A and B are shown apart, each in its own frame.
Chain A
């Protein structure tokens, strides 16, 4: 294997932001821009390295895997397991490294405008936490084993907690931060059981290589090689793998804000807007879906787990989209759209569309970061008023923001030829053909996904029209604050991306054009070249093989061209946009959703999911805890006090005995023990 310098530098990709964390934390207040420059320089450095890494892979280098550090070395000979850290750079992780570093760089530049120019305090802390966040996510992305992934997954959660709660002097942010950590921790609980179960089952949590749990699991099902595998609870191998897959999925559902653990994400809007952009586009929420993609070889073995993923994803896509329809605050609309879009990615993964899932993850990262930064620009201009009903008419005063925001919205709505169209269409198409070939669960997921295309088009353009079109509806909207380059530059970069990034995988027109246009698919197939390579098991080709194998998911594909489904979904998206236009293009729009009556109330209250979860915490858990406390104080401690007659000492009588006498107890104690020894001595015949 040829040595490549850039792979030797791989630890620095995560290391640089960590360095920026330390610098900003301890020296930030002495620096110009309060640590921002360190953060931007580090993220940009990581971006350069990540791009270089990706280019090296593109240039034909083998994927890279190295062991860097033993966290815990298992004891020899008695069945201990090693816990180690390592780096895995394959096309998937390289792509994600580029996305994370790019978004991180851009949002830190944007923060110069959003935070620094706004005169915020606590900036060293802000940039330090962003550095730590970027570091954790990057380390998570190129983890070579599940335990390491879990560890950095948790650190990502910590950083979101810190950043969501950045404005800790208010009531809202600390509450939102707590909810984010707690809800995702609930999901991580299942994830951790999954990690422990993987250890106990396979003795390793490695992602890659012949001894990785992914490959061992495949061999166990394909060739019956189960001698190094222990299953538990009396389940057979496939059932047990399904259980493990679903346990790990708990963490995914929490982090990627899928139903029913999606409730934290809208509350996470309490954080600064650039943080929301980072969380939604590239870090926290992306981590969940990325994890499934990372160990896709394992999930592809279990049709049940895939079915569950597809159903959760499809349902969440529609469920969240409906809630976005009635929201009044621009960031809330975006929050629910994120939940919905990650639902599409889950649908894709469950539906056997690995490439499409990674594709949508990529395009979504670009257009969602764009939309959040655009919203951030709007919020700055509006002097931190986020209510869309106070906006209107901003398109004339905010030309750059408007055009880029529009590009992002077209991408989100899935309008040809913007990014979201290509990726969302491929998700739906692949799910459809796998579903038609005998997986009715996938068809249900597809139906959810298709319906929400319409809803997405609608809520997206309701947002655009209310924010930028019509007449200004407040003083702030009539005279928005001006923006500097540092907010415009990032959105411009992302705007170009949102318009063009879909071209990396143009499946529907491939047939029409008659040439090969699915470049992302080729990218994710790197590693197949040398068949004996350990990385062959991480390619989209191999996943396809498992999905279609008898021992795996057992999928097959119906014979249906990509063109017609594409036209259908584009038609629905356009219909959604059209509906929004009809209802909200009036210069003085009226709140049309009021006509929905009680449905609107239900949607405004998010199907009472929050109430339900708060009730679980406050209405069930806390009373149980109080009851346990009462039981403890009265019954258990009561028995103790009764038996020991401690109450005698603590009562009136004791109060009369002063400290001087206390030493008597010590004397008594010593005497008692001596006596005991003597008695034992006599019984034992010592004397």
Chain B
């Protein structure tokens, strides 16, 4: 019942905030968001699940199954539950949302009740995405995330917000459709053996060899086609190069708190779904195409980093570097090794925290300077010492400094990918991808040198001084979490490993 409590508390909070007066909306939304944060943390500490939620390998934690309605031969269910992969993502969502809400207090100054309501609505959908175990339910939440996001960018965004929000919506929706078709190929292929649209049932059916022919495709071809469709669909979300161009536009136009959620949680929907669908349901197809997928991963890492290097806008730099970081996740997933899967999942959490932190800290500086352009300002360290200190720490976190979570995620991915047996030439691909750690240092150090250090220079009529306490506090919380996970990765890694191992146990 805790998942339901978390979900409905968020949904209720969203409704309440929509109706609240704008003056109080921010504080009220933050206060109400503490409820799902609290329940999800309680779930974390009482988590007793084991094994992978999609495979018959253990107990799904906080599971509820209720019959909902019948659709033809299929029983649609309210089926929710979490395992070691979704639990950390759920907590990531609730933590980041609360912090993002606090960080909205300063920059958001119009239509507050709608803004905060939409943020909470998005949180509710995200909770649904990470907990739903029925495809229909999952898909409703998956699509449900897009609508608040569309408005949040389109209404509160920057000058080109219309273009960015429409691009985001159309691009990700087309991707959803492609993915949807792929999944239903599998559903129909399974034929009568399937009585619900439950993700575990579909996964076990496909892995168990119950797949028949559909639409003139034999089971193997059907699997390959479904894999391709779903991969393409999710690749947009991650995003994998070359499906990434919606991302920088969306980020640059989105207000800071929305960027935090977009980079911190929304991108993880893509890799989470890849893990659940492509690498769990269709693991054998993924093994066959491992090398090609690995190349996409490596390409995302290097190409994304090179694009980041070419940017002058701090937010664009962070946006492109997300593409690079998510490339590591792809490389880790496709390696089919314990640390590959585990490191990739850990990297999702870690990148969620670090990119959230980076966007927030850039936002705090922007609130003061009203510019994000490298070259328009310098010597910020003199004016905002604590904010800049956190900026430096966050940037080093992004560069994968040891004892911060980024290092743990990346090094686990590298170890996992290096000795992969499904990718021919794995050491070479891994070594190429690892060059990302040099490029990321290049552009972040360069941007820091130009903006934070040197004599203070900024053309502005605004008063430039230290940020407000409530702007800095979320940064401190995130930084502490990044360090905590960096010093003791096992806090999350243990449960992740537990959920990952069944994927490698039997071989599909």
Footprint of B on A, CB under 8 Å?
A: 70-75, 77-81, 83, 147, 150-152, 154-155, 158, 162, 165, 168-171, 173-175, 177-178, 181-182, 185-186, 189, 192-193, 195-197, 199-200, 230, 232-233, 617, 621-622, 624-626, 628-629, 632, 636-637, 640-641, 644, 646, 649-650, 654-655, 659, 662, 665-666, 669, 673, 676, 680-681, 683-687
Contact = CB atoms under 8 A, between A and B. Distances in A.
A182 B441 contact: yes
10 contacts: A74-B338, A75-B498, A75-B500, A174-B453, A196-B411, A200-B427, A233-B428, A625-B309, A626-B310, A644-B167
A197 B425 CA distance: 13
A168 B169 contact: no
Contacts of A78: 338, 501, 504-505
Contacts of B446: 178
Contacts of A197: 418, 427
Contacts of B184: 680, 684
B306 interface: yes
A621 B494 contact: no
Contact of A170 (B188, B408, B454): B454
Interface in B377-414: 379, 381-382, 392, 396, 399, 401-403, 407-408, 411-412, 414
Given A155-B403, A174-B453, A650-B166, 15 more contacts: A72-B490, A73-B494, A75-B342, A79-B337, A79-B338, A151-B402, A154-B402, A169-B454, A174-B449, A185-B441, A189-B434, A196-B415, A200-B418, A659-B155, A662-B154
Contact of A628 (B150, B307, B427, B493): B307
A interface SS class: helix
Contact of A196 (B399, B414, B449): B414
Contacts, number: 208
A632 B307 contact: yes
B427 A625 contact: no
Interface in B64-86: 71-74
A343 to B, nearest CB: 25
B71 A185 contact: no
Interface stretch (B33-41, B172-180, B325-333): B172-180
A626 B311 CA distance: 8
A168 B452 contact: yes
B147 interface: yes
Interface-centre pick from B151, B408, B494, B497 (highest chain A CB count, 10 A): B497
B435 interface: yes
A175 B399 CA distance: 18
Nearest to A233: B427
B307 A193 contact: no
Nearest to A79: B338
B419 interface: yes
Interface in B168-223: 169-171, 173-174, 177, 180, 184, 187-188
A621 B442 CA distance: 10
B90 to A, nearest CB: 22
A168 B310 contact: no
Contacts of A621: 309, 442
A684 B177 contact: no
B59 interface: no
Interface string B138-177: 0000010011001100110000101100110111011001
B494 A665 contact: no
Interface string B438-454: 10011001101100111
A132 to B, nearest CB: 11
Given A182-B442, A200-B419, A646-B167, A659 B381 contact: no
A649 B163 contact: yes
Nearest to B316: A629
B257 interface: no
A646 B441 contact: no
Nearest to B498: A75
A150 to B, nearest CB: 7
Contacts of B419: 199-200, 230, 232
B494 A151 contact: no
Nearest to A201: B419
Contact of A158 (B163, B382, B396, B430): B396
B353 interface: no
A626 B310 CA distance: 5
B303 interface: yes
B352 interface: no
A644 B403 CA distance: 44
B306 A171 contact: no
B304 to A, nearest CB: 10
B163 A646 contact: yes
Contact of A150 (B166, B177, B402): B402
A327 to B, nearest CB: 25
A42 to B, nearest CB: 19
Contact of A199 (B180, B415, B449, B490): B415
A81 B303 contact: no
B431 interface: yes
A193 B435 CA distance: 10
Contacts of B169: 665, 669
A650 B151 CA distance: 16
